[in-house]
Amino acid sequence: MKEKRLSEYKIGEYGKVKIVEGEGKIRRRLFDMGVTPSADIIVRKRAPLGDPIEITIRGYELTLRESEASVVIMEGRK
Amino acid sequence: MIRFALAGNPNSGKTTLFNALTGSTAHVGNWPGVTVDKKEGTYKKCAEPISIVDLPGIYSLSPYTPEEVISRNFILDEKPDCVINIVDVTNLERNLYLTTQLMEIDVPVVIALNMMDELTKRGDKIDAKALEEKIGLPVVEISALRGKGMAELMDRAYEASKTSRKAKTVLEKTALIHLINDCRIALSGQKVDNALFHAIKLVEMDEIEVKMHPDSANMVEEFKEGFHDELFGNDFEALVADSRYKYIVAYFSSTLTKKPREVTELTKSEKIDRVFTHKFIGIPLFFIILFAVFHLTFSENLLWLGAGPLAEWVSCEGTAFEGVFGDGGLASPGVILFNLLDLATASLGEAIAGAMEASGIAEWLIGLVCDGIFGGIFAVLSFLPQILLLFLFFSLLEDSGYMARVAFMLDKIFRKFGLSGRAFMPMIMGFGCSVPAMINTRTLANENERTATIRIIPFFSCSAKLPILTAVAGGIMQVFGVGNADLITYGMYVVGIVLALVCVILMRATTMKGEIPPFIMELPDYHSPQFRNLMLHLWDKAKHFIKKAFTIILVSTIIIWVISHFSWTWNFLGDEEIDQSILAGLGGLIQPLFTPLGFGSQLGAMGWVFAVGAITGLIAKENVIATFGTLAACIIAGFEGTEEGVAEVSVMIQATGATIPAMISFIVFNMTTIPCFAAVAAAKGELGSKKKFNFTLLFWIVASYVTSSMIYLIGSWWWTTFIIIAVWAVVIALLVLYNKGKLDLTSLKDLFKKVKTKAKKSSGCGCGCDGCAMKDSCSSQKKN
C-alpha cells in the first residue's frame, strides 16, 4: 500500500509506522512515547477545532498536533 | 537511613503508591532550582525505617525536560539504595521502555506491577513470574489503589537493596553493542561510575553526555561515519529507541495475554470521550463545567433560587448565623465557608480586643494587635476557604483525566500565543483567585510558558477586585450622572483579557523567544479521583498558604498598618486621622508619579487619597473599599459610608475633582498592578528564581502604569490616540526588525557594558582609583 503521512490519515484509519522524520526534541519525544517503526497506530479523532489529533498506539491514547504528526511516515496494513 | 526512589511514568499511579507507603509522613518541597515538586516520606513497616523519594513522573531518561534531568541525576548522583519502578500493567510496553533505561544503571531495581485489579477487570492476564525471569529484576504485583501488595513490594525492595546489582542492557544483540562496549571501557578507564548507562547515552549523542565526555563523543562520531543501517542510516538515537521497543515486544509483551478484541472496539475512556471531546458539545460542555465550579465557589445566589421561603429559612434571621447561609438567596458552599470563617475570626477579634481593653493596655498596642496583626491575618485567611474549594474542584478535574482533554480541545487557540491548551486553566482560575491559579501553573510543562502565565494571571480580574470595580463605577455614575456601572465593569474585564494577550505576545517576541513547546501528550484513561490523594494534596496547599500568611504577608500588613496609624512624629493616630499619617505623607510624595494616570498632582491637596487606596490594596484588594471609608471620613467629618463604597467614591471624586478618564484609569491601575501580598507570595514560590520574581514585579508595575496612562490620555484628549498609535507602531516595527535580525543591538549592549564596567571601576573620579578624599582635585593631578 501507498505511503502516507500520519497527518493525512482520516479518522478510523489505521496502519504501521514506517519511519519518523524530523529532528531533536520532537523526534525524541515521539520515540519515547512509543512512536517507533512497526508500531500500530489508529487515528481516533480530531479536536473540536480540527487540530490536534488523537491516536491509539501501544494500547494507550496519545494526542499530537498535525505538524508533529506530519513527520511520521506510515504504511497501510496489507 | 536507607533510601528508595520511586520512578515511573506519569499516570501510572505513582502518587497513590507514594501516599499508600508514606501516609502522613510525607512532606513536599521543590527540587533545587526548579519548581517541580519533590516529595519525601518514610515507610515504617520494614525491619528499619526507609526514606522514600518520589521522583517526577517521566517516560524516559532523555535530557529534554527538567523532570527527566532531575530523575536521572538523582539516581546517578544520589545513589538511592533501591529504585522502585512502578509499571502500569494496562500500558505495559510504554512503561517498560523506562525500565529498559533504569536497568542500565548500577542500582537495585524492583518492578511494581500496578493496576492489577484493572487488568483483571478487562479480562487480561499477566504472568509475573515469567516476566521476572525474562527481565531479570524482581517483579511484584500490586494495586496501589486498594493498598494490595505493599508489604511484599517493600520486603522485596529491602532485600534487593542489601545486594548490589550490575547494570545490563537490552541492546546486547544490536549492531551497536561493540560501540557501546568500547565507550564503556573507555569511560571505566576514566573511573566513571555507571559506565554502561553513560556509554549508551553517549551513543545516542545525548546532549548532557556529549558535554561531559567529549573524547568518547568523538569516538562515536568516527564510528558513525562508517555505519549504515537499512532503515535508520546512522541515526543512533532512533536505532536505540527502536531496539528498546522491539526487545520489549519480542520478549516481555508475550507475558501478557489479552482478551481478544477488535482494534476499533471502544474502551470506557473512549466512550466517555465521545461526549466530553465531542466536535460540537465538547467545548460548550467545558464552559458549563467551568461555570458550575465558579458558581459553587463564589455565588451568593445559588441556582438563582432568589428570595423565597427557602432564602428566608436559610437567612437565620435573629440568630448569630444571620446571613451566613444566604442573604436574599441561598449562598454557595464557598460563600458559606467564607462567612463561617469570617464570623469566627470576627468574634475572636472582638474577644481579644475586649480582653485587651479591659486590662488597660495602651490604645496603640490594642490597635496594632487587633487591627494590624489579627486584622491582617484574618483578611488573608478569609480567602482560604474559597481558595481551597477552587483548588479542590480543579484538582478533581485534573486527577480524573479531564484536564488533559481540555488542553487537547483548546490547544489550537493557545498555540497562536506560544502557549499550550493547558495554560487556559490557570488563566480562567485567575478570575476566581490568583493564588490557586498561580499554584496551578505547575501543571504546565514548559518553563517559559509557566512564567508568562504567572505574569498575566493578575490581569484576569479576581473576585476580590470586583468590589473596587463596582464601587468606582457606581461613584462615576453618581457624580457625573453618566455611564452604566455594568458596562464599565464588563469593559474592565475585557481590558484585562486584552492586556494579558498583548503582554504574552510581547513577551514571546522579546524575552521569551523560542519555539512553541511540542504538544505530544498522553490522554490518560478517565478514573475516579482518589479522596485520600486529594485531601493530602489540599492539606499541602493549605499548610503552604498558612505558613506564608504568617510570614511575609504578616510582616507586610504590619508595616502598612504602622505607617497608616502613626504620624512622622511617631504619634498614634485613630482611623479618622489617616490624613496625618506617614502613609498619607508617602502618598503625597508619590502622588506626582500618578499624574500621567490622571490621579496625581492635578487633583490638588486631597489627591493623595487615591495613592493611599492603591497601596492598601496590596494587603488584600478588599481593603481598597475599606480604606475609601476612612478616607471619606477624613474629607467629611463624621461621614457614614455604605457597604458598597459608592458614596465614599463620590465624596472622593467631588473633593478632588477627578475626571471620568482618571477614575477609569484608577480602576485599571488597581486591577492590573502588583496583586495582593498573598498572590505575590504565591508568584514568588512558583517562579523559583529571584531574578524572575523581581522582573515580574517590575513587569506588573510597568504594564499597569502604561495601560492606565494610555486610558487616561485617550479619555481626556482624544487626539492623543494618534500619538499613542504612532508610538506603538514604532515599538512594533522595532521589534519586528529586531526579530528578523535587521536591527543590531549588540553594539548598543557593548557600549552599555563598557559604561557599566567603567562606572564600577571608578566610583571616584574616573582615574581608576576607588574614590578618595582627593576626589575633587584628582583630575587636576592627572593633568599635571
- How many CB pairs lie under 8 A apart between chains A and B? 119
The verdict on B690 and B770 lying in the same domain is no
| B520–A12 CB contact, under 8 Å | no
- Residue B782 gets which letter from DSSP? H
- Taking the C-alpha atoms of residue B598 and residue B662, their distance in angstroms, rounded to an integer, is 4
Report the range out of B294-298, B420-424, B456-460 with the highest average pLDDT: B456-460
Instruction: Decide: B468 and B485 in contact? Cβ < 8 Å.
Output: no
* A28/B91 touch (CB, cutoff 8 Å), yes or no: no
Q: Could you say which of B161, B192, B208 is where a domain stops?
A: B161
- Give the residue from A49, A66, A68, A70 with the most B CB atoms within 10 Å of its CB, the best one to mutate: A49
* Distance, first Cα to last Cα, chain B: 72
| Residue B443: inside a domain | no
3-state helix, strand, coil split of chain B in percent (to 5) is: 65, 5, 30
Pick from B25, B21, B27, B24: which is nearest to B4 by CA? B21
Same domain assignment for residues B56 and B111 = yes
Taking every pair of Cα atoms in chain B, the longest distance, rounded to a whole number of angstroms, is: 99
Question: CA-nearest residue of chain A to B65?
Answer: A25
- Partner-chain contact A48 B62, CB within 8 Å: no
Residue with cell 478487562: B122
Cα(B443)–Cα(B161) distance, integer angstroms: 33
| Res B519 pLDDT > 80 | yes
CATH number of the domain encompassing residue B51: 3.40.50.300
Task: Return the sign of the alpha-carbon dihedral for residues B169, B171, B172, B178.
Answer: negative
Lowest mean pLDDT among B74-83, B106-115, B139-148, B262-271: B262-271
B331-345: burial string, b at 16+ Cβ within 10 Å, e else: bbebbbbbbebeeeb
Query: B279 CA to chain A: closest CA distance, Å?
Result: 4
Q: For residue B468, which of B652, B653, B646 has the smallest C-alpha distance?
A: B646
User: Residue B710: enclosing H or E segment and its boundaries?
Assistant: helix B690-716
pLDDT per position as a tens digit, B693-702:
999 999 999 9
Rounded CA gap, B43 and A57, in Å?
36
Residues A28, B62: C-beta atoms closer than 8 Å: yes
Alpha carbons B691 and B696: distance in angstroms, whole number: 9
Tell me the C-alpha distance between B94 and B90, whole Å.
10
Within-domain flag for B620: yes
Q: Are residues B616 and B739 in the same domain?
A: no
Return the pLDDT at B386. Answer: 83
- Confidence tier at B781 by pLDDT (50, 70, 90): very low
Residue of A36, A50, A61 lying closest to B523 (CB–CB): A61
Q: What is the pLDDT of residue B194?
A: 92
How far, in whole angstroms, is CA B221 from its chain's centroid? 42
Q: How close, in Å, is residue A35 to chain B by CA atoms?
A: 9
* Beta-carbon count within 10 A of B121 CB: 11
| Residue showing cell 557599566 | B756
Q: Are strands B50-54 and B2-8 parallel, antiparallel or unpaired?
A: parallel
Residues B139 and B186 grouped into a single domain: no
- Predicted confidence at residue B431, as pLDDT, reads 85
Q: Rounded to 5 degrees, what angle do the CA atoms B438, B441, B443 make?
A: 150
Query: How many other C-beta atoms are found inside a 10 Å radius of the C-beta of residue B370?
Result: 18
Set out the domains of chain A in order of their start, with CATH numbers: 3-72 (2.30.30.90)
Contacts of A21 in chain B (CB under 8 A): none
What cell was used for B677?
501580598
B520/B659 Cα distance (integer angstroms): 52
Q: How far is A72 from chain B (nearest CA, A)?
A: 13
All three cell numbers of B708, joined, read 492606565
Q: Which of A29, A45, A47 sits opposite B411 (nearest CB)?
A: A47
Question: Can you tell me whether residue B173 is helix, strand or coil?
Answer: coil
The DSSP secondary structure of B194-233, one letter per residue, reads: THHHHHHHHHTT-HHHHHH-HHHHHHHHHHHHT--BTTTB
Phi then psi for residue B761, to 5 deg, are: -60, -40
Is A52–B408 a contact, with Cβ atoms under 8 angstroms apart?
yes
Per-residue pLDDT for B780 more than 50?
no
Residue B635 and residue B733 in one domain:
no
Give the end of a domain, one of B240, B257, B274.
Answer: B257
Q: Are residues B589 and B681 in the same domain?
A: yes
Which is more confident, B652 or B264?
B652
Predicted local distance difference test score (pLDDT) of residue B126:
93
DSSP classification of residue B148: B
Are B277 and A54 inside 8 Å of each other by CB?
A: yes
Q: Please enumerate in sequence order all residues whose Cβ is within 8 A of that of B56, keeping only pairs 6 or more positions apart, or say none.
A: B31, B36, B37, B66, B67, B70, B71
Distance from CA of B284 to the nearest CA of A (A): 11
Domain assignment present for residue B305? The answer is no
Q: What is the ipTM of this complex?
A: 0.95
- Confidence (pLDDT) at B699: 94
Alpha-carbon gap, residue B529 to B117, rounded angstroms: 16
According to the model, what pLDDT value does residue B773 have? 44
* Residue of A31, A38, A54 to mutate, interface with B, max B Cβ within 10 Å: A31
The rounded percent of chain B whose pLDDT value lies above 70 is 93
Asked if B388 and B433 touch (Cβ cutoff 8 Å), the reply is: no
Q: Verify that B99 and B211 share a domain, yes or no.
A: no
CA–CA distance, B189 with B373 (Å, rounded to integer): 64
Are the Cβ atoms of B237 and A31 closer than 8 angstroms? yes
Residue B435 lies in a domain: no
pLDDT given for residue B333 in this prediction = 87
Whether residue B231 is contained in a domain is answered as yes
In the block, cell 498614634 appears at: B572
Distance CA B461, CA B726 (A): 29
Q: Which of B520, B521, B526 to mutate to test the interface with A (most CBs of A within 10 A)?
A: B520
Q: How far apart are CA B119 and CA B179, in angstroms?
A: 40
- Give the pLDDT of residue B770: 44
Tell me whether residues A29 and B64 touch, CB distance under 8 A: yes
Residue B216 inside a domain? The answer is: yes
Based on the structure, what is the number of domains in chain B?
A: 5
CA-based nearest distance A37→chain B, Å: 7
d(CA B158, CA B387): 41
pLDDT of amino acid B285 = 94
The verdict on a CB contact (< 8 Å) between B412 and A26 is: no
- Does B96 score more than 80 pLDDT? yes
Residue B475 placed within a domain: no
Residue written as grid cell 494579558:
B500
B745 CB burial (10 A radius; 0-12, 13-18, 19+) = exposed
Q: How many residues does chain A have?
A: 78
Asked if the Cβ–Cβ distance from B522 to A64 is below 8 Å, we say no
Cβ distance of B520 and A62 shorter than 8 Å: yes
CB contact under 8 A, B237 and A58: no
- B523, part of any domain: no
Residue scoring higher pLDDT (B416 or B708): B708
Say if A29 is an interface residue toward chain B (CB within 8 Å): yes
Give the pLDDT band (50/70/90) at residue B263: low
Co-location of B686 and B740 in the same domain: no
Average pLDDT over all residues of chain B: 85
User: Residue B440 pLDDT > 70, yes or no?
Assistant: yes
pLDDT tens profile B529-541: 888 888 888 888 7
Contacts of B706 (CB under 8 A, 6+ apart): none
Three-state DSSP class for residue B82: strand
**Could you say which of B98, B127, B161 is where a domain stops?**
B161
Greatest mean pLDDT among A3-7, B365-369, B755-759 lies in A3-7
Interchain CB distance below 8 Å, B520 and A20: no
- Of B166, B174, B195, B165, residue with least CA distance to B183: B195
| CB within 8 Å of chain B, chain A residues 57-76 | 58-65, 68
Indicate the SS3 state at residue A3.
strand
Query: Which residue do the cell numbers 504567572 mark?
Result: B454
- Name which of B59, B60, B93 is nearest A59 (Cβ-Cβ): B93
Who wins on pLDDT, B112 or B380? B112
Question: What's the CATH number where B205 sits?
Answer: 1.10.287
Tell me the three cell numbers of residue B93. Answer: 510496553
Contacting residues of A for B280, CB less than 8 Å apart: 48
Q: Is residue B723's pLDDT more than 60?
A: yes
Residue B336, C-beta contacts closer than 8 angstroms, at least 6 positions apart: B324, B325, B326
Q: Smallest Cβ distance to B64: which of A19, A28, A54?
A: A28
Measure A26 CA to nearest chain B CA, in Å: 6
Distance from CA of A31 to the nearest CA of B (A): 6
* pLDDT band of B777, cuts 50, 70, 90: very low
Residue range(s) defining the domain that contains residue B682: 574-716
Cα(B706)–Cα(B595) distance, integer angstroms: 12
- CB neighbourhood size of B427 (10 A): 21
C-alpha–C-alpha distance, residues B371 and B564, integer Å: 11
* Residues B213 and B187 sit within 8 Å (Cβ to Cβ): yes
With an 8 Å Cβ cutoff, are A33 and B237 in contact? no
Nearest CB to B520: which of A44, A49, A68?
A: A68
**For A36, which of B242, B409, B415 is closest by C-beta distance?**
B242
Closest C-alpha among B670, B728, B736, B655 to residue B701: B670
- Please tell me the distance from the alpha carbon of residue B667 to that of residue B663, in angstroms, as a whole number: 6
Indicate whether B150 and B190 sit together in one domain: no
Same domain, B746 and B760: no
Does residue B453 surpass a pLDDT of 60? yes
The grid coordinates of residue B296 equal 459553587
In this complex, which of A27, A31, A42 lies closest to B263 when CB atoms are compared?
A42
Q: pLDDT digit string (tens) for A39-73?
A: 999 999 999 999 899 999 998 999 999 999 999 99
Task: Name the band, by pLDDT with cuts 50, 70 and 90, for residue B374.
Answer: confident
B282 residue type, one letter = G
Indicate the residue of B270, B282, B524 with minimum beta-carbon distance to A48: B282
* Cβ-defined contact of A27 to B522 (cutoff 8 Å): no
Q: What pLDDT score was predicted for residue B767?
A: 43
CB-based contact A59 B90, cutoff 8 Å: yes
Chain B contact for A32 (CB, 8 A cutoff): yes
The set of cell numbers assigned to B403 is 484536564
Residue B603 C-alpha cell reads as 487633583
Q: Where are the alpha helices (DSSP H) in B60-176?
A: 66-73, 92-102, 116-122, 128-135, 150-161
Sign of CA dihedral B316, B318, B320, B323: positive
Least reliable range by pLDDT among B83-92, B458-467, B573-582, B649-658: B573-582
- DSSP line for B496-510: HHHHHHHHHHHHHHT
- Residues B13 and B156 grouped into a single domain: yes
Q: Compare all CA atoms of chain A with the CA of B286 and give the residue at the minimum distance.
A: A48
Contacts of A54 in chain B (CB under 8 A): 277, 408, 523
Q: Which residue of B has its CA nearest to A22?
A: B238
Chain B residues whose C-beta sits inside 8 Å of any chain A C-beta? 59-60, 62, 64, 90-94, 97, 231, 237-238, 241-242, 245-246, 263-264, 269-270, 273, 277-280, 282-283, 404, 408-413, 415, 518-525
Chain B residues near residue A28 by CB distance under 8 angstroms = 60, 62, 64, 237, 241
Model pLDDT, residue A77: 64
* CA B755 to each of CA B750, B751, B762, B768, B776: distance values in angstroms, whole numbers, following the listed order: 9, 6, 11, 13, 21
Query: What is the per-residue pLDDT across B542-585, written as a single tens digit (0 to 9) for each?
Result: 887 788 777 777 787 788 888 888 888 888 887 777 788 888 88
pLDDT at B140 over 90: yes
Whole-number pLDDT of residue B760: 56
Name every chain B residue with its beta carbon within 8 A of the beta carbon of A32. 59-60, 62, 97, 241
Whether residues A28 and B413 touch (CB distance < 8 A) is answered with no
Residue B135 sits in the same domain as residue B185: no
CA distance B315 to chain A (A): 44
Q: Measure the CA angle with vertex B672, ends B666 and B678; round to 5°.
A: 115
Residue owning grid cell 521502555: B97
- In chain A, the N- to C-terminal Cα span, in Å, equals 7
Q: How far is CA B714 from CA B234, B325, B660, B700, in A?
A: 63, 45, 12, 21
Q: How far apart are CA B37 and CA B48, in angstroms?
A: 26
Instruction: Find the closest chain B residue to A31 by CA distance.
Output: B241
* Interface residue A20 vs chain B (CB under 8 A): yes
Grid coordinates given for B782: 592627572
Cα(B506)–Cα(B526) distance, integer angstroms = 37
B158's grid cell: 529491602
When pLDDT is averaged across residues B422-432 and rounded to a whole number, the result is 83
